[in-house]
Amino acid sequence: MAESRKITLRFNPMEIHHIPALRNPIMVVAFSGWNDAGEAATGAIEHLLAAWQNEPNDVVPELIADIESEEFYDFQVNRPHIFIDESQIRNVTWPTTEIFGLVLPSFERDLIIVKGTEPSMRWKSFTRELLDLADDLEVELIITLGSLMADVPHTRPIAVSGTGAHPELAARLGVEISRYEGPTGILGIIGDGCLRRGIDAISLWAAIPHYASSSPSPKATLSLVNALEDFLEITIPPADLPEAAEEWEKDVSEMAKEDSDVAEYVKALEDSKDAADLPDVSGDSIAKEFERYLRRRTKD
């Protein structure tokens, strides 16, 4: 009697579409969901994908790969959407993760942009697939973007914290050591996977006023974009983000004026924030703004 053998076939959940020639690329990652208060992080990713399309070089994102949704998403949590296209034909879009390449001739390095919905399950496998691709594309630095609700006033600059998971890494890249303990999202799992593989990784998180966390939050998105360009020492075209951020702040101020309790609370937050900000912190902010101005002026 012939001996039976068990054969296991591994399903590959990532479909590779096209791999452009990328120069020492940096991967920037954001997901909607738990890590994305006010849609600030995914707003920053969407801005990056469109930022250079109207520039002289007309940089258009190239879809490198996407991840099969059925393997990682609970469709009762993240439901597919039906839409009708220009031909009046009904289509379905599924929650997924897409990876794009951005070739930036005016800079020394290119970008890989990862955007998607936070997966519902199999986070280890999901992270392995993403980091395997990062290894294949010779990525040496991954930057994750997130946003969270906090007790901060909307009338002051949105603070962005940069952290690294290892003391040596944090010191080398000039960010703080992450001391967070508690529940985490997919960004925390990706950061841990990077640490285990020896891939440099940092997180940039924007703090959004919890009383004004309705989406979108362009002021927080702008702060994340500014923090990213400061860290990478590049210029990211702002488009209409500054105007949208200013309008958002005005709208929230009007909302706060309509409720005396909220107005008093905002005033208390402002006083606390102003008292905590030391002169040298303000000096750092001015220096970053001036460096950003010089980069844009040099580019022009």
> What tens digit of pLDDT does each residue of 133-170 get?
999 999 999 999 999 999 999 989 999 999 998 888 88
> CA 286 to CA 294: how far, in whole Å?
12
Q: Is 200 exposed, middle or buried (0-12, 13-18, 19+ CB in 10 A)?
A: middle
In the chain, what are the domain boundaries? 14-236+244-299
Radius of gyration of the chain (CA): 21
Q: H-helix or E-strand containing 254?
A: helix 241-257
- For domain 14-236+244-299, the CATH architecture is 3-Layer(aba) Sandwich (3.40)
Q: How many residues does the chain have?
A: 300
The pair of three-digit structure tokens given for residue 172, joined into one six-digit string: 């080398």
Pairing of strands 14-16, 111-117: unpaired
The per-residue pLDDT of the chain, averaged, comes to: 87
> What tens digit of pLDDT does each residue of 96-123 get?
999 999 999 889 999 999 999 999 999 9
Residue 7 pLDDT grade (very low, low, confident, very high; cuts 50, 70, 90)? very low
> CA 45 to CA 256: how far, in whole Å?
29
Task: Assign 3-class secondary structure to 41-64.
Answer: HHHHHHHHHHHCCCCCCCCCCEEE
**pTM, whole model, 2 decimals?**
0.85
